[in-house]
Structure 1
Amino acid sequence: MKPNPRMLFGNIFDDERITPSYLARFADDVIAKLIQNNTTNDYNSVLAFLQNAMIPLRKELGEVDTTLNTQVGKTATVDSFIVDFTKYMKDNYVFIAAALGGDKTAAFREFYPKGKTEYNTITKTKIPTIMERLNTVAVTYQTQLGATISTQLQDFQTQWTALRGSQLQQKSAVKTNRSDRTVARRNVELELLKTIHFIANKFPGDVKFSMVFFDFNLLFGARHKSLEDPVV
């Protein structure tokens, strides 16, 4: 088979189907797998650069991490967390509205821009963005909300990050116009490319083991082909 130079040397993440959220999802999974397999610190160099590159991208996506209270303990699953989080946002809708002067105020809409619907139909892909938003507005309106609600809204982000990171580790054992692609995204793309080449260099020719670190399906929606699919 004739090698594809773009796949070998190009930026495989320069694909319009790869949204920033999908890129972040893929990078988080790579980070989790590097950590899971880093018992001898072999991956420290690429891991540190990739983790640092992800910080601005998470912030840009509206994504960034004491403990949820007794509703969700340390052993809670991601799914149970989502159920409890959705219930909390539904049950406290009235209280947050009252604290902010009503459900028609601009302040309240920062918490519920789409009403309760956004929380009732929440997905794992959207949660990091929503958590960052809630963390920010909970701090902004801390006085009006009171310490209990404000702290709880901020704690959701910490709990989600811990639970999701743990889940990813356990599982592992754009071409948007270039002018539209941000520096933060570009830096993550480059660090991911370096990581791929680092693994390939460490395990030359061992496709099966190298693929342990990369689930390319995470870069795309279910209806799209992954990078592993042959080019027709």
Structure 2
Amino acid sequence: MFLPFLKNPFLSPALSREDFRELMEGHLSRLIAQNKDGRYDALIAALQPHHDAYAALLAAQSEQVGTRLGNTDTVEQLLADFKKFAKDELLVDAEYQFKRKSPNAQALAELLPKGRKEYSSATLLTLPTLLERTASLTQKYQAALGKPLADRAAQLNTAFKAARGTQGESKGLVQDDSKQEKKLRKAAARQLKLGLLEQLRLHIDEPEAVQALYDAKWFGGK
């Protein structure tokens, strides 16, 4: 019965790189905001280096991806074009068609497995996956979404692949976890768990005080 409590929830493979960074950043900001009388000083000091190192690594990896893909300016413009396309066309049409006109929960789940934010916060690391998904699904649901939308999604995907050119980097290689990222993430997750245990000790009779140190969505909230 105690096994679930012995596992480290921060090592969950369900957390993407960006989710893990966001969780750590949000938790740290809440610790700082609620640091009454310095009660969280030690927790903040222990977590801050892990947060900074991990955030710096992701930023560096995103920049390196652009370099590997060849023309960084072209790829970054494609990222901007895709985000605009997703915001102004893809998500508008998909939600209209599959939420209101002809409700289709399965289609929405395929297009928006992580919600709208996955598109609005797209990065060079996540762009290949999003492009492949939208090109494939707009083709699959072309009858509902229309040929122009499917053609635009396919065009963006083709343009991205062309920009990679002779780099020969597969999507999988670009997105694979590096040894350094795994090492930093493991260390940060360990510190997050140590911090959680200390928070439980400090608030042994106030579970809501511990929950207040994390975004509600990590507990399954909205």
User: What is the TM-score with the length of structure 2 in the denominator?
Assistant: 0.49
Higher relative contact order (CA 8 A, sep 6+): 1
User: What is the TM-score with the length of structure 1 in the denominator?
Assistant: 0.47
